[in-house]
Structure 1
């Protein structure tokens, strides 16, 4: 059994990040007889200056990228279809909002030390994309954290702790300096970068080649 370290740089309001992860999950399932993966998530804020009440998602995409309503509708249809393919439910709607994710990343960084980061990451993707929750709302974050077995009082403390906010910002800066300026970014064994939500077949091929070549080294 070959052990593989996989680091995923992502944001919980990035639809391609959850699609990319689900494709990776399928790849690792296919390789489960030969590869054992250790996965760690890392923060990347798509909108670090976003206010706490967020912004209408369609308006945000129009302002940031010049996305037309027609292109937005087409993109949502594509994402919904791709989500169905990998077993994830997107529920886009006209009033959907984009939110600041700093608090979410603070929790995720802390949850790693509690052995709950993986579960919380997937729970937050579900809360935002499938349930339409405000991913910046402290009460919602506490509820999600409790659902994966984390202590509510400690969670509240982490959310309000400026040192955790600074730790997230520092980590994000390190990834930017390493050349990561878009997500998802998947790094295998700390040195092989796979950018974007690549296909399951490509991921199977890449992981197989990397694990075999490094075993020979």
Structure 2
């Protein structure tokens, strides 16, 4: 393999279960191929108008997509099974909520200034999907920052004064203007866009094509 790491930009939302799946599928393929990478996470809000206290997830999906409760349960089982195969635990309950993620994206941006954006993104995925924590709330987000070794008080201040709100809005606009309308959107070396959770085998094929083209 070349010494230069493969650049991977991932546009995603903390609330997107397929972003979790897609990342872990990609990681499994990267590990299998022994490819070094530089991963950058970028903000996208699936539901920018979501209220601060969120909405029951099942009710939200039924309203937004017109699915039934049975469809919702089937989707949850599918995700749980896929996650188990990938080593990620989805724990859905009747009380699981869709949450506003604008603050979470600001926290990831701040963590990136400390070289910890990747760690923060993964911590938020786990906090929401595995632990059922309120990742739309300032105090919870500050707690998570402290749990991964960042300064909780600084995180709390950053979220309270919204100092990176405009940076996140600008980043969101950049990717929307670039044509991104759904997530995960994965861009390799700033040139090759792959949309959705492709599966480990398919990601492996994509990686082979990219490395052979170098």
Q: TM-score scaled by structure 1?
A: 0.95
Asked whether 1:98 is paired with 2:121, we answer no
Q: Secondary structure at the match of 2:50?
A: coil
Aligned partner of 1:150 in structure 2 is 150
1:35-184 to 2 correspondence within 5 Å? Answer: 35-184=35-184
Could you report, residue by residue, the CA deviation over 1:39-61 in whole angstroms, capped at 9, with x for unpaired residues?
Answer: 01000011111111111111111
User: Which 10-residue stretch deviates more, 202-211 or 119-128?
Assistant: 202-211
Could you report, residue by residue, the CA deviation over 1:161-197 in whole angstroms, capped at 9, with x for unpaired residues?
Answer: 3341121111111101111100011100001001000
- Separation in 2 of the partners of 1:162 and 1:89? 31
Asked whether 1:15 is paired with 2:2, we answer no
Could you report, residue by residue, the CA deviation over 1:67-101 in whole angstroms, capped at 9, with x for unpaired residues?
Answer: 11111011001001011010100111111111100
Q: Secondary structure at the match of 1:150?
A: coil
Give unmatched runs, 5+ long, in structure 2. Answer: none
- Separation in 2 of the partners of 1:179 and 1:208? 26
Q: Secondary structure at the match of 2:139?
A: helix
Give unmatched runs, 5+ long, in structure 1. Answer: none
Across the aligned residues of Structure 1 and Structure 2, the Cα RMSD in angstroms comes to: 1.0
User: Which 10-residue stretch deviates more, 126-135 or 204-213?
Assistant: 204-213
Could you report, residue by residue, the CA deviation over 1:78-126 in whole angstroms, capped at 9, with x for unpaired residues?
Answer: 0010110101001111111111000000010111121111111111101
- Separation in 1 of the partners of 2:75 and 2:126? 19
- Separation in 1 of the partners of 2:209 and 2:161? 42
Structure 1 stretches of 4+ with a deviation exceeding 6 A read none
- Separation in 1 of the partners of 2:37 and 2:74? 35
Q: Choose which of 5, 27, 30 in structure 2 pairs with 1:28.
A: 30
- Separation in 1 of the partners of 2:51 and 2:130? 22
Q: Secondary structure at the match of 2:41?
A: strand
- The question of whether the paired residues in 1 share the 8 Å contact of 2:138 and 2:160 is answered with no
Aligned partner of 1:198 in structure 2 is 198
- Separation in 1 of the partners of 2:145 and 2:197? 26
Count of paired positions: 212
